[in-house]
Amino acid sequence: MQEARSVADLNSAVLSGLDVYWRQQCAGRDMPRRADIDPIALKQILPRIILTRIEHTPLRILYTVVGTQCVTSAGFDYTGYYLDELDMSTEVGTDWPAVYRQIVNERRPVFGICDTALSNGQSRPYVAGLYPLSDEAGQISHVIAVEDIVLDPTDELLMVPTQPIVLKPRSKGRAAS
């Protein structure tokens, strides 16, 4: 991810909408609680929303909600899977575990430009924003994210990843939501 200094630099109405809502929900705290997030308030951007649960020691990221447009972009629904169980090689130049570590360590949103691979070997940029949410004790418990990718019709046909997202073998059953 090429991190941006401000949301305004990214020119994304979808990201701006989440950013404004997240900041309103902070209510004087450094971040909103998970319980402060109302999906109805995000209805317009829900198809582009990803919600992850943060597990500490060791740090693991569980996808609990993956919006329909995110599912389409990825090629399958990864709700209920951990980040470390997924092959994210179609995400050109983005180290997702490092992004989540940064959010947990710095306790702040991260937003910028990412690239996704197309089946013809090219890549296309998209805007992503990830925002921490806390539990009642103030520990980061979730991250709410948005992906804003706009492709022309030709690129949409090429969204089949050059290397499909493949689940890595699991030692146990599917993760619980």
**CA atoms within a 13 Å half-sphere pointing along the CA-CB vector of 53:** 12
By three-state DSSP, how is residue 135 classified?
Answer: coil
> pLDDT value at position 116?
84
DSSP label at 62?
A: E
> pLDDT value at position 36?
97
Residue 164 inside a domain? The answer is no
Q: What is the pLDDT of residues 127-138, one digit of tens each?
A: 999 999 999 999
Which range (21-25, 102-106, 171-175) has the least confidence? 171-175
Residue 31 amino acid letter? M
- Grade residue 120 by pLDDT with cuts at 50, 70 and 90: confident
By three-state DSSP, how is residue 52 classified?
Answer: strand
H or E segment to which residue 117 belongs: strand 110-117
Task: Specify the number of domains making up the chain.
Answer: 1
User: Cα separation of 129 and 113, whole Å?
Assistant: 9
pTM over 0.85: yes
By three-state DSSP, how is residue 71 classified?
Answer: helix
Nearest CA-CA partner of 146 in 89, 40, 69: 69
Residue 165 inside a domain? The answer is no
The residue that leads in pLDDT, 2 or 121, is 2
- Grade residue 20 by pLDDT with cuts at 50, 70 and 90: very high
Nearest CA-CA partner of 150 in 11, 44, 31: 11
- Grade residue 139 by pLDDT with cuts at 50, 70 and 90: very high
Query: In CATH, what number is assigned to the domain containing residue 33?
Result: 3.30.450.20
- The yes-or-no verdict on residue 177 having pLDDT over 50 is no
DSSP label at 56?
A: T
DSSP label at 82?
A: B
Q: What is the pLDDT of residues 57-102, one digit of tens each?
A: 999 999 999 999 888 887 788 899 899 888 887 788 899 999 999 9
Domain enclosing residue 58, as ranges = 2-157
